[in-house]
Structure 1
Amino acid sequence: MANFLKTWQTELKRTLTGSADAVPEWVPLLADGHDAGYFLPGSATWAVHGSMSTIVAGIRALLMQALHPGALAGVYDHSHFREDPLGRLASTIRWIFTVTYGSTYAAQAASGWVLRIHEQVNGLYVDGHGVERNYSADDPELLRWVHIAFTDAFLSTHKIWGARIPGGPDEYVREWIQAGTLMGVRVLPASEREMRGMLDKWYDDGDLKFDARVKEVVDFLRRPPLHPSLMVGYRVLFAAAVATLEPKYRELLGLKKAHLGPIPLPAVTGTRIVLWVIHLALGKVGPSEMAARSRLKRLGLLP
């Protein structure tokens, strides 16, 4: 049992950070810098991104993002999500946590790095109306879809499995506008209601679609190449992500809430248990937050 738990903890860290034996090299760098960064302890952003619910949010966001054929084309044509899914996950986590916890310079540098990669991502896709279009990863409209899908996922899952958000859900949506701005996104929502309205417009206008590519991504997310010790917990988290989707998006993705025969499985309770276990394994405060607090103390912004 002890060996199993050690293996499980090691593989969990590898999956979420890309490093099994040590803190990733970029995390201690969050202690560097000469200002507070964009967000502080007590902010809505720190509350949401410091929650274990972000693990479920990541799955939900990827499911939602796959529904926009322009956004999906960039991932499908240019990323290595099949060969190195954990590497892509680790890169996304690095950017989110650097913007959340890093100095202004670190957040801007991390965003610039992503934008330089985006310069090489372009091609053709068929939109939801059957029209062939050009796509580019730095297209503000596609970036807006990705930003809102992430924001919606973080907020939706935190409202179920997280603690109180300082200032409420609208404050989180407003604060996280900064991340979109760093990525060159325009016309961002400033409230939860406005965000839902933007999502609904994409749906109502017929811009989203399900096809063979989406099915491949959904199947991949349903059964990713994780270590066997993680798969039981992951199945619970995937079921939770599906359960949090609005029915119309769940139906469009061809997904249903988890059932055992006619009996619905308790995804919310099961996920609360899985996230609690992960919380125990990773520690009460994540290394990114600890590095940020070290910088803030050095600057005299924390006691």
Structure 2
Amino acid sequence: MFLEKVEKAYGFNVESYEKIKNIYKLITDRGIYCLKVSKYDLKQYNFIISAMNYLIDKGYEHILPIYKTIEGENYLAIDDGYAYLTDFIDAKEVDFKDLTELKMCIEAIAKLHLASRGFKYEIRIRDYYGRWIEKFKKRSSELLYFRAICESKDEKSEFDSIFLKYFDLHYRQSLKCLKDFETSNYFKIMESHKRLHEICHHDTANHNFLITHENIVLIDYDYVIMDTHLHDLASLLIRNLRYGNWDIKLFNFILNEYSRYIPITLEEIYLIFCFMEFPQDYWQVGLQYYVEKQPWTEENFLKRLNRVVLDAEGRFKFLSELEGLYGKYR
């Protein structure tokens, strides 16, 4: 059992433990800890730990410090992955619909971007600067691949029929996204942003923001990358607006709150619009169904797809309004 290795590495005795998603809550003779396990290769894992330690060293207050092993290491190898140790905190996940809690999240992510500035890594890894267009071109092509798989079936499922029904609408939007990016100042803006050497958390879901009685903590840095702060900001906007919340007032609220820490130019808002244009959720559910073949029920897949297509009308209307406001700043 890997817990024996953990006990030896940190010098405590585990009295009991509980597995919660990808962490272990350890009750020990020295207190309660969180063991965060990841199944990455060592090169990827070293990048994650380096990024976290950089934030900690810069005094970023919304991250849990990492405990070193007895031998002074930041992590240990266990089974087919690696793990690091932090305190286990008594906290609740934030509710994005609570504007006070949302403001706290915006502040936490903006301060992460500020604290991360100047981060450099010895090899080029997880570097997304200037790669948005490349990424969206690839995903646009993958949409065609998903359709080809679907059309090759002799007997189509209900999921297939719905996916095909809404394919042209979403594929055309992926092409418009690419066209708008290519006529923007994306590369020019990224050249200036790249000099900041920022870190993006890259998973700004509400369950990664935990509120304690005295602080908000941002957890799970498994997807951390190097990229412009606009990446996390655009993702946070999408997470708050999608599935029936497409409201320009909410968009402006998040943008204005973030701009209190890092000002956003009109040209940068246009890049955020372009980022939001790509039909990410439609692509994601297609990938999960046709390529990854996630072990979910057909009912689960249908629920996910229907949620996306039912959201399409409000999403398209919002994007049209946003383009009307910021399209001239391309």
Task: State TM-score, norm by structure 1.
Answer: 0.31
Q: Which has the larger radius of gyration?
A: 2
Q: Which has the higher contact order (CA 8 A, sep 6+)?
A: 1
TM-score using structure 2 length: 0.29
Question: Which structure features the higher share of helix residues?
Answer: 1
Which structure's residues are more often strand, by fraction? 2
